[in-house]
Amino acid sequence: MTGTRTGRRGSTTAWADIDLHALGRNLERLRRGLPSGQAVFGVVKADAYGHGAGPVGRALQRFGIDGLVVADMGEGITLRRAGVTAPILVIDPPLQSQLRLPALHRLGATVTSAAEARALATAANRAGRTVDVHVRVDTGFAGLGAPRAGLADLLAAVAAAPVLRLEGLYTHLSGAYGPYEDGGLVELERFGEAVDAARAAGLLPPLVHALSSPALDRPLLTGAAARIGCTAVRCGAALFGIRMVDGDSPLPLAPVMSVKARVTRVTALEPGDIADYAAAGAAPRRTPVAVLPFGFSDGHHLHRLAGGVLLIRGRPAPVLGRPFMSSLLADVTDIPDVQPGDEAVLIGRQGDHRITAEDIAARSGLRPSAVPLLGPRIVRRYRSNSAGREQPE
């Protein structure tokens, strides 16, 4: 899988440590905060938010996740080929050329119209297999989902096809990602109307889900979801210990990823020397510099890392100038005796200091969940416990 490789210490100079034990603890803590019997679907789109979809998917399966969620058919097939047997829901409805894939790879399909349902049923008939179907409802977010007005007809079209199993009804709340405690409540109320319509028609599926990671911290949303009859949640960022909105969280979630690199060279800039291509970082004085093999091709947040720091020998080292495509310079004026081979931390803890995905997001203007989307040079090392034992993959 591109960007999801393992490697032995010393075989690379930049890597991400993935703590699978922390992943399992986060899932357990999320479950404890939910009403009894709620199903948890882990969102592992975008290569599990950069953590590695195959290893993460297998680990979540071992930890008892109820199902996984991906963006498209290709991501679902990748998980199946990685050995994941848990239910997988694909968010994007299949294209005409992809209609046979849900049946062939046992993927749950999203449909948003009766025409999509009928086309999927035809393909499933030809494949001779039953397909699980989730109906997505448009509650005002980017026009995604089925219009609420025709929902009963769509549910009936799914239920009328013997090869389609009506498994879920869901929506996604944009307002939950905003700064307001009641953000998403209007969308959730609209979804409640759709749930009531499905229930009145006798077509309410077992899985009803609307809440994603940021909503789980908001009692107004969790309470409203319980009242309308939601039976499942989708967790992506929260599983990886990433906070998508500002503020304190009642959930004690731990970051799963830390990112590190080895100092490859120690040098110095003389007064007036240029630190980057744009000539925007001229050294005002003689400046000791550590060179690290991590650039904007390895972490796109480095495009906008003004004022950023990393950690070397347990102390903050300011990023000097604008990072290059495959390297960056760090000012080590206040860190004595830095040597090639020293470990630098770009995300994570070293000594008494810590850099989080949320810190980087706030400085760079990115969403926190985008920070771990690393480039393919960065090796992922999977650890089965927080003491550091590597787990072969």
Confidence class for position 305, pLDDT limits 50, 70, 90: low
Q: Are residues 315 and 353 in contact, defined by beta-carbon separation less than 8 angstroms?
A: yes
Any domain includes 13: no
CA neighbours closer than 13 Å in the CB half-sphere of residue 227: 12
Whether pLDDT at 3 is above 60: no
Same domain, 232 and 364: no
When pLDDT is averaged across residues 23-37 and rounded to a whole number, the result is 94
pLDDT tier at 4, thresholds 50, 70, 90: very low
pLDDT reading at 286 higher than 70:
yes
Statement to judge: residues 198 and 63 lie in one domain:
yes
Domain boundary among 240, 272, 292: 240
Active site residue: 170, 180, 260, 277, which one?
277
Distance of CA 55 to the CA centre of its chain: 14
pLDDT of residue 248: 59
Nearest to 309 by CA among 354, 351, 278: 354
**Are residue 230 and residue 346 in the same domain, yes or no?**
no
On whether residue 248 sits in a domain, the answer given is no
The yes-or-no answer on residue 277 being catalytic is yes
> What does DSSP say about strands 164-170 and 131-136: parallel, antiparallel, or unpaired?
parallel
List 287's β-bridge partners, or say none.
Answer: 269
Mode of pairing for the β-strands spanning 131-136 and 108-111: parallel
Q: Which two tokens stand for residue 68?
A: 């996984």
CATH of the domain at 231: 3.20.20.10
Percentage of residues of the chain with pLDDT beyond 70: 91
Query: How far apart (Å, rounded) are the C-alpha atoms in residues 316 and 345?
Result: 9
324 is a domain residue: yes
Instruction: Tell me, yes or no, whether 271 and 227 share the same domain.
Output: no
Number of domains in the chain: 2
Q: Are residues 230 and 336 in the same domain?
A: no
Catalytic-labelled residue, pool 45, 49, 260, 382: 45
**Beta-strand relationship, 353-355 and 343-350:** antiparallel
Same domain, 270 and 226: no
With beta carbons less than 8 A apart as the criterion, state whether 88 and 60 touch: no
CA end-to-end span of the chain: 12
- The answer to whether 180 is a known catalytic residue is no
| pLDDT reading at 244 higher than 50 | yes
Query: How remote is the C-alpha of 362 from its chain's centroid?
Result: 17
If asked whether residues 233 and 266 sit together in one domain, one would say no
pLDDT, mean of residues 229-250: 88
Structural domain that includes position 171: 33-240
Task: Give yes or no: residues 200 and 349 share one domain.
Answer: no
Residue 388 binned pLDDT confidence (cut-offs 50, 70, 90) = very low
pLDDT at 8: 46
Q: Is residue 119 part of a domain?
A: yes
What pLDDT, in 10s, does the model give residues 103-132? 999 999 999 999 999 999 999 999 999 999
pLDDT digits (tens, 9 = 90+) for 324-350: 999 999 999 999 999 999 999 999 999
As a whole number of angstroms, the distance between CA 258 and CA 18 comes to 7
Q: Are 215 and 82 within one domain?
A: yes
Cβ proximity of 121 and 115 under 8 Å: no
Closest CA to 318 of 357, 367, 363: 363
Asked, for residue 282, whether it belongs to a domain, the answer is: yes
Which tokens belong to 239?
């599983």
249 located within any domain: no
Tokens matching residue 254: 């731990």
Return the CATH number at 341: 2.40.37.10
Range among 138-142, 243-247, 270-274 with highest mean pLDDT value: 138-142
Residue 233 and residue 298 in one domain? no
> What does the DSSP 8-state code read for residue 6?
-
In a domain, 23, yes or no: no
The secondary structure of residue 70, as a DSSP letter, is: E
Last residue of a domain, one of 205, 240, 275: 240
Choose one of 206, 240, 274: the last residue of a domain.
Answer: 240
Q: By C-alpha distance, which of 239, 297, 260 is closest to 380?
A: 260
Please tell me the distance from the alpha carbon of residue 196 to that of residue 203, in angstroms, as a whole number.
10
Closest Cα to residue 240, out of 34, 32, 52, 9? Answer: 52
| 195 and 130 together in one domain | yes
Let me know whether 303 and 236 are in one domain: no
- Is residue 390, in this structure, part of any structural domain at all? no
